Amino acid sequence: MPNPVPLERALSKLGLASRKEAVRLIAEGHVQVNGRVVRDAMRPVRLAIDLLSVRGMALVAAAPRTLMMNKPRGVVTTRKDEAGRKTVHDLLPADCGLLSAVGRLDKASAGLLLFTNDHQLGERLTNPASHVRKRYRVKVRGVVDEGVLAALRAGVVDPELGRLTAVSVDLERQTEKGAWLHITLDEGKNRQIRRMAEALRLEVQELIRTDLGPLQLGNLAPGEVRDLSAEEMRALRRAAGV
């Protein structure tokens, strides 16, 4: 027997609308469950059993699709931005349907970002308990010596998020003005790398996510998007425990 989910989440899972948009459609009386109008967004439904329709049109699940983007700097990870800034969804293909970003990269960060309509996969990848590893190239200003590396590897205590640790921290190269680091995480708390750097008075100049689980950014250019291959999807689902 399939587990029930709230009606607003079911509409999102079917690729019809974001959860916020789904709540509005339900409240306005546009959604029916088994032929009856339902205005309660939290009404439990079973996707494999209940017949859902919007404005009289029956809903069917969209074909599973997962995309990889090389997110450029200066673009925000949100569906719509009240300030009118460019968002990652502006870069997606017009035919991709309703996909959700898997996790976030802040405006100043770049690199590998996934989008999917497979909500189970998305939830597993963003659940800290899954321990899916993410690797970043990070450029910081100044000299990074063994003492700084040791401090990063030991972890820091953040006043809001508690203890922040990394799986590994390695020096790629030191330049005259800064250093490039490789940092691997298996949790990915909000702005974790930037918070760790700030605790040690390091200024982050660039932050690029290069790997997520078995996936690598490779030569995908900034702003470009591609579908994952079947092999990549199998590896990703294994890593997420789906």
Catalytic site positions: 106
CA dihedral 204, 205, 208, 213 (to 10 degrees): -10
Q: 36, 48, 41, 45: which is closest to 21 by C-alpha?
A: 41
The answer to whether 207 and 75 have CB atoms below 8 angstroms apart is no
Strand segments, DSSP code E, in 35-80 are 36-37, 44-45, 52-54, 57-58, 66-71
How far apart CA 210 and CA 70 sit, in angstroms, is: 9
State the Cα–Cα distance between residues 59 and 8, nearest whole angstrom. 13
**Of residues 156, 175, 176, 180, the one with CA closest to residue 166:** 156
The position carrying tokens 């700084």 is: 148
Instruction: Tell me the C-alpha distance between 172 and 164, whole Å.
Output: 22
CB 27: neighbour CB atoms within 10 A?
13
- CB contact at 8 A, 19 and 31: no
